[in-house]
Amino acid sequence: MLGVVRSLAVAFVVVGSTLAAQAQSEADYIAAFSGNWQVFEPAYSEGGVKCGMALSKSGTNGRYDLSKSNCAAELATAEKWGIVDQQLAFIDKGGLVVVRLGGNQRRMTGTTVAGKPIVFDRVGNDGLASQLEAAVKASGCYYLGFTDKCAPASELANPLSANPEGDKRIQAVVNLNVRSEARPDAEAIGVVPMNSCVAVETCLTASDGVWCQARFGERNGWLRKAALRQNRWPVVTYVNKCETPSQ
């Protein structure tokens, strides 16, 4: 099902999960990644309001202050932050690392202590999200793949929420890049051919919409649901139901 796959197992594990910053010391990392971040995924939010975290430069012994609002699950237990094994980590009051993140100064991705994926977006620097919003205003809708048909609003939803008891497969309506992390600039590790169906394991919401994770042999990859065609047309890259019969 997965086309053009390159052997990048080491890069996927190491580069994909560490911090990408022009930094030579911990102080540089702290300066680069401090500031205001938010989580769009409802599972980590309280009261229907996005979880927000402000990461301070102030701290002692490599543990820096943070303040949080409307945060749930593991994020609710975070009391400090710091750099642990070249990853940004959130730490509870007992000293346990509850979230590990890598990425860049616009988006960080990683996992919680429970092994669940999570995405943090920098407040005010949402990149593709702003471009998508402007494109949708100009065109009036998201297009279904590379057609001139508007996709139903339901196709922008999380596939696992849209089909809670049904088939967990999605169907690509474009030749869809598979990313090592849930970031537009993460390394492409393969391509799902148009009209192919893929069983997704988990999906979450970021500032630029839904991303779903799927298993490809021995590797995990991320599929972005909303994208820009030719930097102009907003498109849905896969639909929430597989129309191809199971083999």
Query: In this structure, what token pair is assigned to residue 148?
Result: 């001139």
Cβ–Cβ under 8 Å, residues 18 and 86: yes
Is this model's pTM higher than 0.75 or not? yes
Q: Where do the domains of the chain lie?
A: 11-122, 138-239
The CA distance from 70 to 81, in Å, is 18
Which has the closest alpha carbon to 50: 36, 71, 34?
71
Least-confidence region, from 78-92, 120-134, 177-191, 197-211: 120-134
Residue 230 scores a pLDDT above 50: yes
| Residue 80: predicted pLDDT | 98
Residue 188 has pLDDT above 80, yes or no: yes
CA 137/CA 210 separation, integer angstroms: 19
Residue labelled with tokens 């129309």: 243
Q: pLDDT: is 4 or 222 the higher one? A: 222
pLDDT band at 4 (very low <50, low <70, confident <90, very high): very low
Q: With beta carbons less than 8 A apart as the criterion, state whether 118 and 204 touch.
A: yes
Strands (E), 104-168: 107-112, 117-122, 143-144
Q: What would the mean pLDDT of 71-95 be, rounded to a whole number? A: 96
pLDDT for 8 equals: 23
Amino acid at 28: D
State the Cα–Cα distance between residues 216 and 178, nearest whole angstrom: 10
CA distance 21 to 9: 21
**CA torsion 69→43→170→133, rounded to 10°?**
-20
Residue 227 scores a pLDDT above 80: yes
Q: Is the pLDDT score of 6 beyond 60?
A: no
Per cent of the chain over pLDDT 90 is 74
Helix residue ranges, H only, 2-145: 9-14, 26-33, 128-139
The class level of CATH for 138-239 reads mainly beta
- Reported as a single tens digit per residue, the pLDDT across 197-221 is 999 999 999 999 999 999 988 889 9
Give the CATH fold of the 11-122 domain. Lipocalin (2.40.128)
- The pLDDT value recorded for residue 91 is 98
Core vs surface per residue 11-49: b (16+ CB within 10 A) or e: ebeeebbbbbeeeeeeeebbebbbbebbbbbbebbbeee
Cα angle: 71, vertex 73, 75; to 5 degrees: 50
